[in-house]
């Protein structure tokens, strides 16, 4: 009879992204085996590194290098893994509806990640690639290669097959076009396509690429990408995505059989569906990372909204902040269980590096600006540091990136 | 003043397939530099081995392994290469219209290869993959991988994405499904697709697969392919290829987003366009391989029709016969130039092997039936023997296939 077990609180983590995985590893370390039942719910049996996905999407890295089986990182003797999709959080009933069942919680960690933000532009879901997941990256890669393969098999040359539009010059858009433009010579050679036939556009509604980034770095990045054939259209909102390309606010059309949508993200649609007060799928969390009015529900990662008081704007939804939130969240759950007081969360932004493909990158670390190969080196270090935080030196050795 | 040059006859070879390449190598060897101007016209700068294309089409071999730059095999000091497409042969005017010019000939070798035979079935060109070329093979491969990549990204499972139909259980169809079925476990693993979701059909109108092949070998092949999940529909004509799959003569529909058309070939459409008497693009050639009524036009390879008197049926359009024709054609052109009598052509069929993917094949060599790995070994030997005939041992070493 497992009577004792009933007394253990149920801690349920929703989502195995950066926030969920770090929370899970920290909780399994900090809590003894008899202190709590910890459960992780995730749609797939694997965890993936969202910030690496521009590489498999452009075909410069195998998608398998960007994911790992959850049971290869977490000790499933200490945490229960449920492969299922979250349908709704029943806050008052303290349970979560899943596609194939339901699960009760005493403490809940909501880290369901982000979804593409369309800003109401019609046609995005129908005609653009907007899912930044392993499945989505694989689809973009195969779609691109299929367009190249089709090009020489059409009786009349269809140049739109070789036109690639990236909507949004933020981090994702820039990193993706960096990889694609770097790979272009190889693609052209493999498919017997003249390089001058390929057109790559990055279209951005804001007055600059990489808004908020250092202007000198932005200029370096744009010059580099332009030298590889990328054309920037800045200050240029997209009105609609269609079957044949995009229509700009000006009314002009650019024909393209590939449109990648990367204008930014919103939180998970489950947030709104579950009745939380939210802004674009994000919950403005308390300083201890709990949802307002809920003692036992933590919201971290891309679904959490926190204002940077210095500039009166929200912190961006980054992996870096998600992982820092996870550390505090795990600590606070343990404190709650013991009746201790909770820590407040304060992001500590160590730096930001955007890769540009090949050995190129731009970034800021501390107060230092980095260009080219030193920024590239730092980018690999950041990717490896995450693996270190998640699984220690063993995981870096097994799954890390060579910085050279 | 190049007065002497005008006296040299112009030998023009149309097409750089098996027949054209062997004719070119033999003529450049047999004729001295001052005896003739030899020109080879081909659409691409490369020659490819049509009989290998089921491998890149299924993704088991790089397409670059199935082709070679023409100038890497032929000595362009001895033969002129013109990269252009043939539009029409002006027989009486002794010239060939090309897309970008024209070329005069004293002797013409027509070896323009084959095109897909649709047998009047509607929708083949619109909805099926029927081009057995490097470009065509690349497109099939990328299309297949794209369907796998899409599968996990559709909200409702669309099983037709994972249904692959091969129309025709002849050599090409069987060899292609052999490669694809062999590669399937790898594809399923890479794209996270359950193997049982994948359906592979081979649909054949005739009462047997591989008509004309030894029944015991056919049974071996079918059993093997069935064990990999291939379903045969024999005696089952296709009425129409549609956007969503195929409609059978019975009225039944099979939904599939990939239909590969491999029901056999006809000769080049240039033959009919140029006013030659022909049957399905093939000219019933004289025994010396000339077109009836034309002293100076040889027709060899897939555009040549020759009756096997023993069974009163045409010899099949194979690489083996094309190469044997090329040897006789080169000899006969030299004989014509010297006023000697011409040789008659008689095929010497050494054997036939169909690969089934992996280390499996079936075949007949002489009177011996071969199965499994011995047939597989023989298939590689046949592939390498062609390279030997074309470019000697050096080409086998450089481009050959390991028989192990």
Task: List the B360-365 sheet strands across, edge first.
Answer: B351-357, B360-365, B368-371
**Across residues B117-144, what is the average pLDDT?**
96
B139 and A131 in contact by Cβ < 8 A? no
Distance of CA A385 to the CA centre of its chain: 17
Q: Mean pLDDT throughout B138-142?
A: 97
Is position B66 within any domain? no
The enclosing H or E element of B96 equals: strand B95-98
- Within 8 A by CB and 6+ apart from A303, the residues are A110, A111, A112, A113, A114, A267, A268, A271, A281, A282, A283
Instruction: Based on the fold, state whether residues A131 and A245 are members of the same structural domain.
Output: yes
Residue B62, domain member (yes or no): no
Mark whether A175 is an active-site residue. yes
| pLDDT one-digit tens code per residue, B167-176 | 999 999 999 9
Two tokens, residue B212: 């004309």
% residues pLDDT > 70 (chain B):
98
pLDDT at B6: 54
Mutate to test the interface with A, among B47, B135, B157, B190 (most CBs of A within 10 A): B135
Asked, for residue A359, whether it belongs to a domain, the answer is no
Confidence of residue A44 (pLDDT cuts 50, 70, 90): very high
CATH number at residue A284: 3.50.50.100
Q: Which residue of A has its CA nearest to B130?
A: A153
- Say what the pLDDT of residue A34 is: 87
Q: What is the pLDDT of residues A314-371, one digit of tens each?
A: 999 999 999 999 999 999 999 999 999 999 999 998 889 999 999 999 999 888 899 8
Mutate to test the interface with B, among A129, A139, A143 (most CBs of B within 10 A): A139
Per-residue pLDDT at A377 exceeds 90: no
Instruction: Indicate the pairing of strand A107-110 with strand A297-299.
Output: parallel
Q: Do B135 and A145 touch (CB under 8 A)?
A: no
Task: Look at residue A279 and tell me if it is in a domain.
Answer: yes
pLDDT tens per residue, range A154-189: 888 899 999 999 999 999 999 999 999 999 999 999
How does the average pLDDT of chain B come out, rounded?
94
Residues of chain B in contact with residue A143, where contact means CB-CB under 8 angstroms, are: 146, 149
A135·B152 Cβ contact <8 A: yes
Total count of domains within chain A:
2
Residue pLDDT, tens place only, B202-259: 999 999 999 889 999 999 999 999 999 999 999 999 999 999 999 999 999 999 999 9
| B192 contacts in chain A (CB < 8 Å) | 135
Radius of gyration of chain B (CA): 22
ipTM reported for the complex, 2 dp: 0.77
Task: Answer yes or no: do B240 and B277 share one domain.
Answer: no
The answer to whether position B49 is within a domain reads no
Are A255 and A269 found together in one domain? Answer: no
**Is A143 found in the same domain as A103?**
no
Rounded to 5 degrees, φ, ψ at B65 are: -75, -15
**Is the pLDDT score of A50 beyond 80?**
yes
Q: Radius of gyration over alpha carbons of chain A, in Å?
A: 22
Both tokens of residue A370?
């980095």
User: A305 and A343 share a domain?
Assistant: yes
Residues B301, B325: contact at Cβ < 8 Å? yes
Confidence of residue A6 (pLDDT cuts 50, 70, 90): low
Q: How far apart are CA B165 and CA B200, in angstroms?
A: 6
Residue B247 tokens read as 């409609």
Residue A7: what pLDDT? 78
Residues A97 and A151 in one domain: no
Q: Residue A240 pairs with which residues in a beta bridge? A: A247
Give the pLDDT band of residue B403 (cuts 50, 70, 90): low
Angle between helices A171-191 and A215-227 (to 10 degrees): 10
Q: Which residue has the tokens 């007081």?
A: A341
Sequence-distant (≥ 6) Cβ neighbours of residue B74 within 8 angstroms: B21, B24, B25, B28, B40, B81
Q: In the listed set B264, B295, B317, which residue is the last one of a domain according to the structure?
A: B264
- Pair A193, A289 in one domain: no
pLDDT at residue number A336: 96
* Three-class DSSP category at A191: helix
Maximal C-alpha separation, chain B: 75
CATH number of residue B145's parent domain: 3.50.50.60
Cα distances (angstroms) measured from residue B317 to each of A164, B86, B208, B356, B390 = 42, 21, 19, 20, 19
CA distance B297 to B291: 6
Are residues B161 and B97 part of one domain? no
Separation between Cα atoms, residue B276 and residue B271, nearest integer Å? 6
Q: Is A301 helix (H, G, I), strand (E, B) or coil?
A: helix
The one catalytic residue in A175, A182, A204, A327 is: A175
Q: How far apart are CA A20 and CA B45, in angstroms?
A: 54
Residues in chain B: 404
Residues of B in contact with A191 (CB under 8 A): 138
Chosen domain end from B229, B264, B299: B264
Residue A2: the pLDDT is 46
Helix (H) or strand (E) holding A264: none
In a domain, B72, yes or no: no
Cross-strand partners of A167 = A203, A261
Q: B303-337: per-residue pLDDT in tens?
A: 999 999 888 999 999 999 999 999 999 999 999 99
Helices A319-338 and A18-30 pack at an angle, to 10 degrees, of 30
Domain boundary among A302, A327, A349: A349
Res. A5 pLDDT band, cuts 50 70 90: very low
Which is the catalytic residue, given B55, B117, B175, B182? Answer: B175
pLDDT of residue B384: 87
Helix (H, G, I), strand (E, B) or coil at B332: helix
For A193, the domain range is 124-261
The tokens for A142 are 């195969």
If asked whether residues A282 and A269 sit together in one domain, one would say yes
Residues B132 and B259 in one domain: yes
Nearest to B139 among A135, A142, A153 (CB): A153
Question: Does B387 reside within a domain?
Answer: no
Residue of higher predicted confidence among B365 and A282: A282
Inter-chain touch A141–B149, beta carbons under 8 Å: yes
- Contact residues for A119 (Cβ-Cβ < 8 A; gap 6+): A263
Q: What is the DSSP string of B148-192?
A: HHHHTTSSS--GGGGEEEEE--SHHHHHHHHHHHHHHHHHHHHTT
Task: Find the closest chain B residue to A192 by CA distance.
Answer: B135
- In this structure, the answer to whether residues A249 and A296 fall within a common structural domain is no
Mean confidence (pLDDT) of chain A: 94
Is A61 inside a domain boundary? no
Short-list B139, B127, B170, B156, CA closest to B56: B139
Residue B134 shares a structural domain with residue B240: yes
Q: Do A190 and B64 touch (CB under 8 A)?
A: yes
Q: What is the pLDDT of residue B404?
A: 56
The band of A248, judged by pLDDT with boundaries at 50, 70 and 90, is very high
B8 contacts B58 by C-beta, under 8 angstroms: no
**Could B149 and A143 be called an inter-chain contact, meaning their C-beta atoms sit closer than 8 Å?**
yes
Angle at B121 between CA B120 and CA B123, to 5 degrees: 120
CB contact under 8 A, B131 and A153: yes
Least confident of A78-82, B66-70, B205-209, B210-214: B210-214
Q: How open is the CA angle B144-B147-B153, to the nearest 5 degrees?
A: 155
Q: Are B300 and B322 in contact (CB under 8 A)?
A: yes
| pLDDT at A1 exceeding the cut of 90 | no
What's the DSSP call for residue A343? P
Mutate to test the interface with A, among B116, B139, B143, B188 (most CBs of A within 10 A): B139
CA distance B357 to A246: 43
């Amino acid at each position: 009879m497992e009577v004792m077990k009933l007394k253990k609180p149920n801690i349920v983590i929703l989502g195995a992204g950066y926030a969920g995985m770090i929370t899970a590893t920290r909780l399994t370390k900090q809590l003894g085996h008899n202190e709590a039942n910890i459960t992780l719910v995730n749609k797939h049996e694997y965890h993936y590194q969202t910030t690496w996905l521009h590489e498999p999407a452009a075909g410069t890295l195998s998608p398998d290098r960007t994911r790992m089986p959850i049971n290869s990182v977490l000790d499933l003797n200490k945490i229960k893994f449920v492969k299922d999709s979250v349908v709704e959080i029943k806050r008052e009933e303290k349970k979560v509806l899943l596609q194939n069942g339901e699960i009760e919680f005493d403490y809940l960690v909501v880290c369901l990640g982000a979804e593409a933000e369309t800003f109401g532009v019609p046609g995005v879901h129908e005609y653009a690639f907007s899912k930044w997941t392993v499945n989505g990256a694989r689809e973009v890669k195969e779609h691109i290669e299929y367009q190249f393969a089709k090009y020489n098999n059409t009786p009349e040359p269809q140049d739109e097959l070789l036109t690639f539009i990236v909507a949004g010059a933020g981090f994702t858009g820039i990193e993706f076009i960096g990889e694609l433009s770097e790979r272009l010579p190889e693609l052209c050679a493999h498919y017997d396509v003249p390089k001058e036939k390929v057109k790559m556009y990055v279209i951005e509604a804001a007055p600059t690429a990489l808004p908020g980034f250092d202007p000198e770095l932005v200029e370096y990045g744009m010059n580099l990408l332009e030298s590889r054939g990328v054309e920037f259209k800045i200050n240029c909102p997209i009105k609609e995505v269609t079957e044949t390309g995009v229509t700009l606010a000006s009314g002009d059309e650019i024909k393209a059989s590939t449109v990648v949508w990367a204008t930014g993200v919103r939180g998970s649609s489950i947030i709104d569906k579950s009745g939380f007060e939210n802004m674009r799928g994000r919950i403005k969390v308390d300083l201890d990372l709990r949802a307002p009015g809920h003692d036992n529900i933590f919201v971290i990662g891309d679904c959490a909204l926190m204002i940077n008081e210095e500039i009166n704007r929200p912190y961006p939804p980054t992996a870096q902040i998600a992982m820092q939130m996870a550390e505090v969240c795990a600590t606070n759950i343990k404190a709650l269980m013991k009746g201790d007081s909770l820590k407040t969360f304060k992001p500590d932004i160590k730096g930001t590096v955007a890769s540009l493909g090949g050995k190129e990158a731009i970034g800021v670390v501390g107060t230092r600006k980095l260009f080219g190969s030193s920024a590239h080196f730092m980018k690999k270090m950041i990717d490896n540091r995450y693996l270190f935080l998640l699984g220690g030196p063993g995981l870096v050795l097994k799954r890390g990136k060579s910085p050279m």
